[in-house]
C-alpha cells in the first residue's frame, strides 16, 4: 500500500479502505478507518471555514461545509501546512452548479483568500515619499514612461463584476446587506504594508494601474491601461493613492540602453 493510495481512500468516502490494514486489538480495521476518515475531513472542512468566514456566512454553514467537502475531495491538501488550502476554492465555486445563482460567491472567496495570502506574504518597507532622483525621473517625459514601479509583495488586485467588496465590508461592520447593489462592479487592493491586512476599494482606473504594475508593465504602459479602463483617470492621483497606503516599495529607473 502506497501513501498515495492511503490518502486517496482517506478523502473519498466511496473508496474502500486500503488493503492490508490491521488493528492492534483485533477490532474491525474498516470501521476504525472510517472514523479516522471522518475526523480528517471534519478537520479540513473546519480549516477551510476558518479561512472563509464571510463566504460561509453568506451561504450558511450546511451549504458551505457540503461544498467544502466536495472541493477537498477534488483538491486535496498538497502540503502538511494547511495554509493555502483554499487557493483553488474560488475557481471551484465558479464551476459549482449549486452556486450558479450566486455569481458573487466565487469573488468573495477570492477576496478572503487574497487576505490570507497577504497576511503571510514577505515583508517589505513601504516607500512613503519618493527620493529626489525618483521625483526628477517622474517629471522627465523621457524617463517617466519607462520607470518600473515595484509594489509590496503582499499586494493583489481583486476586480469583480459584483459588489463583493461592499459585501465583505458589510460583514465586518454588521451593516445590513439589503442596501447593497450586488450588480455594481467593484475593485479593491488587498495589501499588508505593516501588521494589518487592508482591503482598499479602488476606482476602475487605479485598479487597472495597480494590476498593470503588478504585471510588470512600465509606468507609461500601466498609465495607458488605466486610461483605457477610465478616461478620467489621473496618474498623479493614482500614484499618490498607492504611496499613501504603502503599496509601493521601489521605483526602478529605466535601464540604460546597451552600447
3-state secondary structure the chain: CCHHHHHHHHHCCCCCCCCCCCCCCCCCHHHHHHHHHHHHHHHHHHHHHHHCHHHHHHHCHHHHHHHHHHHHHHCCCCCCCCCCCCCCHHHHHHCCHHHCCCCCHHHHHHHHHHHHHHHCCCCCCCCCCCCHHHHHHHCCCCCHHHCEEEECCCCEEEEECCCHHHHHHHHHHCCCCCCCCCCCCEEEEEECCCCCCEEEEECHHHHHHHHHHHCCCCHHHHHHHHHHHCCCCCHHHHHHHHHHCCCEEEEECCCCCCC
Nearest to residue 59, comparing CAs of 177, 157, 138?
Answer: 177
> Do residue 92 and residue 161 come from a single domain?
no
Q: How far apart are CA 224 and CA 30, in angstroms?
A: 63
Confirm whether 113 is domain-assigned. Answer: no
Residues 95 and 144 in one domain: no
Task: For residue 31, give its domain range.
Answer: 1-102
Q: Is 28 within a domain?
A: yes
Is 153 found in the same domain as 44?
Answer: no
Check residue 121 and give its pLDDT. Answer: 95
Residue 219 domain flag = yes
The residue among 37, 72, 102 that closes a domain is 102
Q: What is the pLDDT of residue 259?
A: 46
Same domain, 163 and 248: yes
What is d(CA 247, CA 152) in angstroms, rounded to the nearest whole number?
5
Show the cell assigned to 12: 473519498
Task: Report whether 246 contacts 123 (CB < 8 A).
Answer: no
Cα 104–107–113 angle (5° rounding)?
A: 145
- State the pLDDT at residue 79: 73
pLDDT of residue 201: 96
Domain presence at residue 109: no
Do 52 and 31 contact (CB within 8 A), yes or no?
no
User: Is residue 8 a contact partner of residue 2, using CB atoms and an 8 Å limit?
Assistant: no
* Same domain (yes/no): 2, 41: yes
Res 197: pLDDT: 96
248 within 8 A of 150, measured Cβ to Cβ: yes
Q: Is residue 114 part of a domain?
A: no
The last residue of one of the domains, among 70, 102, 134, is 102
What are the two backbone dihedrals, phi and then psi, of residue 199, each rounded to the nearest 5 degrees? Answer: -120, 105
Domain boundary among 102, 134, 150: 102
Q: Does 98 share its domain with 186? A: no
Check whether residue 258 and residue 137 sit in a common domain. yes
239: cell is 500614484
Q: Is residue 149 part of a domain?
A: yes
Do residues 96 and 75 make contact, with C-beta atoms less than 8 angstroms apart?
no
Total of domains in the chain: 2
- pLDDT per residue of the chain (259 residues) written in tens, 0 to 9: 566 666 666 676 667 676 666 665 666 666 666 666 677 788 899 999 999 999 999 999 999 999 999 999 888 887 777 777 899 999 999 999 999 999 999 999 999 999 999 999 999 999 988 888 889 989 999 899 999 999 999 999 999 999 999 999 999 888 888 888 999 999 999 999 998 999 999 999 999 999 999 999 999 999 999 999 999 999 999 999 999 999 999 998 765 544 4
255 and 179 part of one domain: yes
Distance of alpha carbon 36 from its chain centroid, rounded?
31
Residues 127 and 179 in one domain: yes
**So what's the pLDDT on residue 97?**
97
138 shares a domain with 96: no
Q: Does one domain contain both 224 and 134? A: yes
Same domain, 93 and 141: no
Amino acid at each position: 500500500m502506497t501513501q498515495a493510495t492511503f490518502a486517496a481512500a482517506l478523502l473519498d468516502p466511496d473508496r474502500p479502505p486500503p488493503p492490508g490494514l490491521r488493528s492492534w486489538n483485533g477490532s474491525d480495521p474498516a470501521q476504525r478507518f472510517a472514523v479516522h476518515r471522518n475526523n480528517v475531513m471534519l478537520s479540513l472542512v473546519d480549516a477551510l471555514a476558518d479561512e472563509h468566514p464571510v463566504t460561509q456566512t453568506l451561504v450558511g454553514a450546511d451549504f458551505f461545509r457540503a461544498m467544502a467537502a466536495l472541493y477537498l475531495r477534488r483538491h486535496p491538501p498538497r502540503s502538511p501546512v494547511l495554509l493555502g488550502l483554499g487557493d483553488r476554492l474560488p475557481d471551484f465555486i465558479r464551476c459549482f452548479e449549486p452556486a450558479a445563482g450566486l455569481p458573487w460567491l466565487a469573488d468573495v472567496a477570492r477576496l478572503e483568500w487574497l487576505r490570507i495570502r497577504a497576511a503571510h506574504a514577505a515583508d517589505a518597507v513601504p516607500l512613503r515619499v519618493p527620493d529626489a532622483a525618483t521625483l526628477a525621473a517622474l517629471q522627465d517625459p523621457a524617463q517617466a514612461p519607462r520607470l518600473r514601479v515595484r509594489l509590496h509583495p503582499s499586494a493583489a488586485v481583486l476586480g469583480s463584476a459584483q459588489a463583493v467588496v461592499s459585501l465583505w465590508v458589510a460583514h465586518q461592520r454588521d451593516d445590513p446587506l439589503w442596501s447593497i447593489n450586488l450588480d455594481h462592479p467593484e475593485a479593491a487592493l488587498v495589501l499588508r504594508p505593516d501588521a494589518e491586512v487592508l482591503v482598499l476599494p479602488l476606482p476602475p482606473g487605479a485598479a487597472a494601474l495597480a494590476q498593470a504594475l503588478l504585471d510588470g508593465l512600465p509606468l507609461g504602459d500601466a498609465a495607458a491601461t488605466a486610461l483605457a479602463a477610465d478616461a478620467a483617470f489621473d496618474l498623479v492621483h493614482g500614484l499618490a493613492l498607492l504611496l499613501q497606503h504603502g503599496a509601493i516599495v521601489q521605483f526602478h529607473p529605466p535601464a540604460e540602453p546597451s552600447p
